[in-house]
Amino acid sequence: MDGLFSQVAVLGSSGVLLCAIAILWRHGVSGYISAFQLQSNVLAVLTAAVAYFGHDHDLYWVAAMMIAVKGVAIPRLLTRLAHRVGQTHDSEPIVNAATSLIISGLLILLAYTAARPLQALSAAPTRAGIPLAIGLIFVSLFVIVSRKQAISQVIGFLMLENGIALLAVLATYGVPLVVELGVFLDALMGFLVMQIVLYDIHDTFNTIDVDVLKRLKH
């Protein structure tokens, strides 16, 4: 049973990570949103699988909330935000697609090195997925720094939050339900605040391109 549990953990973690890598060669904001939505749903399914194999019924509630908040609510709010600011395509990223994929591969290799101490300490059947979770965190940080549009950086931040949630699920089978509720509430409130800030920036400067906003200082 532990062998099947480990394979499910690695398969699910790989799917979550691939959704983040998919952003690196796409330029449409709708594609970014779809990738984040798919990633959140895959993460929810993986969380439900950990609940089943780990006999932790609280994680079923966590998976349900993940689908409701990250799989439905936030993607809809992101779509509305993109239409409101007229941002359906991202501008040319700071790093091109081919180089981005190479860098993401190197970051994942770095994640495997960084995860060795954690894997050595953990006896959980899910420990084989820990390097993929850390790789997702690194790739999400790279998405944030390599995109020019503020809405793309927000999606990168949301994927970073998914990476932290994935690491928590794999390393400790999640945290207590009340803490998870607080995390979901913080993520939703943080997104709503970022949405309001983006609305104000767009209404004031008629753009959310970070490069254009930097030039306004001069």
| Three-state secondary structure call for residue 83 | helix
Q: What is the pLDDT of residues 54-84, one digit of tens each?
A: 888 888 888 998 899 889 988 998 888 888 7
Q: What is the pLDDT of residues 77-136, one digit of tens each?
A: 888 888 877 766 666 677 788 888 999 999 999 999 999 888 888 788 888 889 999 999
Q: What is the pLDDT of residues 19-42, one digit of tens each?
A: 999 888 777 888 889 999 999 999
**Whole-structure pTM value:** 0.83
Upper half-sphere CA count for residue 73 (Cβ side, 13 Å): 15
Given the structure tokens 């060795």, which residue do they identify?
116
Q: What's the rounded Cα separation, in Å, for the pair 6 and 192?
A: 36
Residue 48 has what pLDDT? Answer: 92
